[in-house]
Structure formats: structure tokens, C-alpha cells
């Protein structure tokens, strides 16, 4: 059997359709949920260091704003395209509803390879993009944040450009800023921390011990690094890690703190002392107890789903598993904490940042952590109860809980 070539967005609608069948939604409501409210495409001419002008393409999509302003990151990557941005913004509507924070879904990006840009080019590109989308975003309209290859510095440039255009200091327009300009404590580790809290609840439900559990990780960036550290602290063994350049394996466990230092120094996990070289995809199928895809979309597919050895998959990446692969995992009894739940810690602390910006009053690390834990635990158990009651996989259960909330909001607004 081969996987049909359809768009990522079309594929991503399958769990929504499964949830809609359980919720007995009419086809016109499904059509509304399958449509974006607004999508903006922009071109950004940038003066490069060699004096030439290069034109980049960027996007910002707002999927559904019935539950609140659009919210979601900005990605800089060569693969960024309309189809990807549409998928990512729709996943944000679902994710924000799963964890019950008052936002709709948004996402943006620029098709570029930031690794080939100088710091000056990156700043000019970012400021150009910010100027193009300035009228489209806003504290109560659409609130961006970082995603793959975007950082607190990039958020700072966007904020600065936005303030200049609007003539006001409005820090709630963007999240994951540096602490000095209204960022929240705990935001840099929030995605990993949230995934960790969800994992703690999952292992209790599944009766797996984290102490000694073998963990395999694909992708070693903002999402994966804190998660690896929390699991390591609890006594799990990080046996495999890969990034976009290489992979490393040690059956006795890799120290994630030392690996982060190595990656910071060399820009790669490659050659980490005491490890064997593996490929970037090997972590998916290696013998382990917990698999953490934390890189990009479409990594667990028809080609490798039957080779996944883990009992538990924690999707820190967005969309790492195709619907066909999802079915294989479910049929084989692999428990998946789906992306819209597993990685929701990032947007949850972004929400806390936005709340603090609006109040002008800032919380301690402990307050942020305690609130994040509460949100993640409640979301996990909401989804897990639906999973038990409806006898569906965890992804469908997450979509059922999310879609119910979005439909209630659309109905209360009289939109459907
Ligand atoms: P990042 O840029 O910090 O890290 C991405 C990592 O994946 C890097 O180590 C990169 O080398 C690696 N990678 C890329 N392609 C790979 C490949 N083919 N094989 C193996 N590794 C590969 O990005 P991030 O913020 O950590 O995001 C990772 C995923 O998590 C994305 O899907 C993102 O949408 C999702 N996510 C991130 C956050 C967050 O707060 N950072 C929140 C929610 C979801």
C-alpha cells in the first residue's frame, strides 16, 4: 500500500472529520471548520549584503477566531508554503481549544533558509515581514510567536516594527519576547515542560515507569532540549537523538546537558563523544520505550509506522504522524500523546505572557510552572476521558474535545 499524494492540509483534516462524525456535526459545519477566515500572502524585498535585492514570500493565516484572537507562531524555513501555513494555523485552533485557552488559530512564515542569511539580512527580512503583516495582527486580533528557526530576538524586531507603525507600546501583540521587553518567565522551556507534564500523566495511566525508560528523540531544538533534560533528571535514559544534520546513539544513555553544549559549540549532535552515528530518521524506529518526534511534519508514515518499537509516542513536533501511520500505531497498541496536546505548553505560557502584558504585572517562575501544570493535567485528563468513553485513539479524542468547544463558540456567536 502506498500513501496517496495529497496536500498536508487535506490530510490534516482527517482527524477533524473523524471527530465530526462522533459529534454528529452537519457537513456545512465541517465545511466552516475546514475553511480559513483569512490568509495573507506578502512579498518582502530585502537588500542583501552584496547590494542586490532579493524578494522573499511570507504568509499569515487565521483559521478560526470564534474562541478568541488568532494565535500561533512564525516559521522561517525553505519548506514554508501556503499549504503548510494553512495546516499549522488550523492545528493551532484545535490546540488552543484542547488546552482551553481563549484563542483561535493562526500561523505564519517566510520561505527562506535563515542559516544562509547574515544577521543584518535576517533583521531586514523580519522587519519587512512585520511591516507587511502589521495591520493584520494585533493584541486582540492575531498574536504571533516563534516556531521553527525563529527566536526571541526575531520577536523583538517584529514588536519594535509594530510599535513604530502603530505609534504605541503594545507588548501583547507578540509572545516569547525577551524578559526585558515583557516576556514571561518559563516561556523558553514551556513546550518541553508541558510535554513533560502530559507524559507524567500518560505514564501513570499506562503504568510505565519513567525511571530507566529508554527515550529516543528526533529533532534537538527548543521543543526537545528541555524535555530531554526533565526526563533525564527523572532517571530516563536518552538513548538516541538526531537533528537535521546527524544522529547519535548510546544504549547506556546520553547526557542531554552535555549534548546541548556540544550542539551549541559545533552546531550539530554529530560526533558527540561516546556515541555511535545513526541517521536523522533512525530515532523513529530504534528500540526504545518512549519516542519523541520533535522535528518537522510527516516523519512517522506508512513506510516506518510498523517499525516503531516505542509503547508511548509524545508528539512535540506538529504533525509528525500521517493519518495512515496513526491508524497503524493505534492498531498496534502504541499510545500517542497527539501534537495538539503534547506541545501545547508553549502556547499556554504564551497565553500567560499575553495576560501579564495586558495587566502590566509579572509572575514568578513558580507561578507560571504551577499554572502550566494545572492546564496540562486538566487537558490530558479531558482528552483521556474522551478516549476511554468514545473508544477512539487519543488524537481523535483530542479533536472531539476541541471541536466541541469551537462549535459551541461559533454557535454562541450565531455564526452557525
Ligand atoms: P527548532 O528549530 O528549535 O528545532 C528543530 C530541530 O529539528 C533542530 O534540532 C533541527 O536540526 C531538527 N530537524 C530538522 N529537520 C530534521 C530532520 N529531518 N531530522 C531530524 N531532525 C531534524 O524548532 P522547535 O521550536 O524545537 O520546533 C520543533 C517542532 O516542535 C516543530 O514541529 C514545531 O512546530 C513544534 N513546536 C515547537 C514549539 C516551541 O515552542 N518551540 C511549540 C509547539 C510546537
Q: Round the CA-based radius of gyration of the chain to a whole number and report it.
A: 20
Give the mean pLDDT of the chain: 97
Average pLDDT over residues 261-270: 98
Query: Same domain, yes or no, for 158 and 218?
Result: no
Backbone angles phi, psi at 330, to 5 degrees: -60, -45
Query: Same domain, yes or no, for 162 and 211?
Result: no
Using CB atoms within 10 Å of the CB of residue 254, give its burial: 0 to 12 exposed, 13 to 18 middle, 19+ buried: buried
Angle CA 309–314–316, to nearest 5: 130
Sheet strand arrangement including 70-77: 38-47, 53-62, 104-111, 70-77, 142-146
Query: Same domain, yes or no, for 203 and 272?
Result: yes
- Would you say residue 366 lies in a domain? no
Q: Quick one: pLDDT at residue 150?
A: 96
- Is there an atom of ligand 1 within 6 Å of 280 CB? yes
* pLDDT higher than 90, residue 328: yes
Nearest CA to ligand 1 atom 35: 317
- Would you say residue 48 lies in a domain? yes
Query: Same domain, yes or no, for 154 and 201?
Result: no
> pLDDT by residue (tens digit) across 192-225?
999 999 999 999 999 999 999 999 999 999 999 9
Contact present, 377 and 348 (Cβ < 8 Å): no
| Backbone region of residue 202 per phi and psi (left: phi > 0; alpha: psi in -120 to 50; beta: other values) | alpha
Using CB atoms within 10 Å of the CB of residue 19, give its burial: 0 to 12 exposed, 13 to 18 middle, 19+ buried: buried
Query: Same domain, yes or no, for 195 and 318?
Result: yes
Q: Among the listed ranges 2-6, 76-80, 170-174, 330-334, which one has the minimum average pLDDT value?
A: 2-6
Percentage of residues in the chain having pLDDT higher than 70: 99
For residue 194, what is its C-alpha cell? Answer: 508541558
Average pLDDT over residues 14-36: 97
Q: Provide the 3-class DSSP secondary structure of residue 188.
A: coil
* pLDDT higher than 60, residue 7: yes
- Would you say residue 368 lies in a domain? no
Report the alpha-carbon distance of residue 233 to residue 228 in Å, rounded: 9
E-assigned strands of 48-159? 53-62, 70-77, 104-111, 142-146
Domain termination residue (choose one: 342, 363, 394):
342
Span from the CA of 224 to the centroid of ligand 1 (angstroms): 7
- Count of domains observed in the chain: 2
Nearest CA to ligand 1 atom 42: 346
Span from the CA of 89 to the centroid of ligand 1 (angstroms): 16
Range of the domain at 93: 37-170
- Is there an atom of ligand 1 within 6 Å of 114 CB? no
b/e code 341-377 from CB counts within 10 Å (16+ = b): bbbbbbbbbbbbbbbbbeeeebbeeeebbebbbebbe
Q: Quick one: pLDDT at residue 3?
A: 46
Active-site annotation holds for 107: yes
Query: Same domain, yes or no, for 48 and 166?
Result: yes
Q: Quick one: pLDDT at residue 6?
A: 76
- Would you say residue 65 lies in a domain? yes
> pLDDT by residue (tens digit) across 365-400?
999 999 999 999 999 999 999 999 999 999 999 999
Query: Same domain, yes or no, for 206 and 101?
Result: no
Q: Quick one: pLDDT at residue 5?
A: 60
DSSP assignment letter at 171: G
b/e code 88-125 from CB counts within 10 Å (16+ = b): bbbbbbbbbbbbbbebbbbbbbbbbebeebeeebbbbb
Nearest atom within ligand 1 for CA of residue 145: 40
- Is there an atom of ligand 1 within 6 Å of 188 CB? no
Please report which confidence band the pLDDT of residue 263 belongs to, taking 50, 70 and 90 as the band edges. very high
Sheet strand arrangement including 247-249: 276-278, 247-249, 237-242, 214-218, 290-293, 312-314, 335-337
> pLDDT by residue (tens digit) across 356-365?
999 999 999 9
Report the alpha-carbon distance of residue 17 to residue 13 in Å, rounded: 6
Q: Quick one: pLDDT at residue 351?
A: 98
How many residues are there in the chain? 416
- Would you say residue 11 lies in a domain? no
* pLDDT higher than 70, residue 1: no
CATH number of residue 320's parent domain: 3.40.50.720
Average pLDDT over residues 84-93: 97
Among residues 14, 71, 107, 405, the one annotated as catalytic is 107
Amino acid at each position: 500500500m502506498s500513501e496517496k499524494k495529497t496536500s498536508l492540509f487535506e490530510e490534516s483534516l482527517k482527524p477533524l472529520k473523524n471527530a465530526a462524525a462522533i459529534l454528529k456535526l452537519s457537513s456545512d459545519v465541517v465545511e466552516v471548520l475546514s475553511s480559513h477566515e483569512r490568509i495573507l500572502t506578502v512579498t518582502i524585498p530585502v537588500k542583501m549584503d552584496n547590494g542586490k535585492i532579493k524578494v522573499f514570500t511570507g504568509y499569515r493565516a487565521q483559521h478560526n477566531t470564534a474562541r478568541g484572537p488568532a494565535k500561533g507562531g512564525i516559521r522561517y524555513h525553505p519548506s514554508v508554503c501556503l499549504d503548510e501555513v494553512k495546516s499549522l494555523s488550523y492545528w493551532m485552533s484545535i490546540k488552543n481549544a484542547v488546552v482551553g485557552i481563549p484563542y483561535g488559530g493562526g500561523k505564519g512564515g517566510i520561505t527562506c533558509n535563515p542559516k544562509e542569511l547574515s544577521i543584518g539580512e535576517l533583521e531586514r527580512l523580519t522587519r519587512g515581514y512585520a511591516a507587511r503583516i502589521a495591520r493584520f495582527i494585533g493584541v486582540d486580533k492575531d498574536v504571533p510567536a516563534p516556531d521553527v528557526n525563529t527566536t526571541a530576538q526575531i520577536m523583538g524586531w517584529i514588536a519594535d516594527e509594530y510599535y513604530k507603525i502603530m505609534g504605541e507600546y503594545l507588548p501583547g501583540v507578540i509572545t516569547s519576547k525577551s524578559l526585558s521587553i515583557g516576556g514571561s518567565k518559563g516561556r523558553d522551556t514551556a513546550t518541553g515542560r508541558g510535554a513533560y507534564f502530559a507524559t507524567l500523566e500518560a505514564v501513570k495511566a499506562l503504568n510505565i515507569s519513567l525511571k530507566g525508560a529508554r527515550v529516543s528523540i528526533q529533532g534537538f531544538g527548543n521543543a526537545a532540549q528541555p524535555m530531554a533534560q526533565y526526563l533525564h533528571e527523572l532517571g530516563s535514559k536518552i538513548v538516541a537523538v538526531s537533528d537535521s544534520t546527524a544522529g547519535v546513539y548510546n544504549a547506556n544513555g546520553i547526557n542531554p546537558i552535555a549534548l546541548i553544549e556540544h550542539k551549541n559549540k559545533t552546531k550539530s549532535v554529530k560526533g558527540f563523544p561516546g556515541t555511535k552515528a545513526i541517521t536523522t530518521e533512525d530515532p523513529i524506529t530504534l528500540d526504545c520505550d518512549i519516542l519523541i518526534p520533535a522535528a518537522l511534519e510527516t516523519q512517522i508514515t506508512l513506510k516506518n509506522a510498523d517499525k516503531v518499537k516505542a509503547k508511548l509516542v509524545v508528539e512535540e513536533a506538529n504533525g509528525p504522524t500521517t493519518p495512515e501511520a496513526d491508524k497503524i500505531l493505534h492498531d498496534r497498541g502504541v499510545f500517542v500523546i497527539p501534537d495538539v496536546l503534547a506541545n501545547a505548553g508553549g502556547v499556554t505560557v504564551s497565553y500567560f505572557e499575553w495576560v501579564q502584558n495586558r495587566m502590566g504585572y509579572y509572575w514568578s517562575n513558580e507561578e507560571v510552572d504551577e499554572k502550566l501544570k494545572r492546564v496540562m493535567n486538566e487537558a490530558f485528563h479531558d482528552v483521556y476521558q474522551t478516549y476511554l468513553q468514545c473508544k477512539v485513539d487519543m488524537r481523535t479524542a483530542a479533536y472531539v474535545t476541541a471541536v466541541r468547544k469551537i462549535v459551541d463558540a461559533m454557535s454562541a456567536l450565531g455564526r452557525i
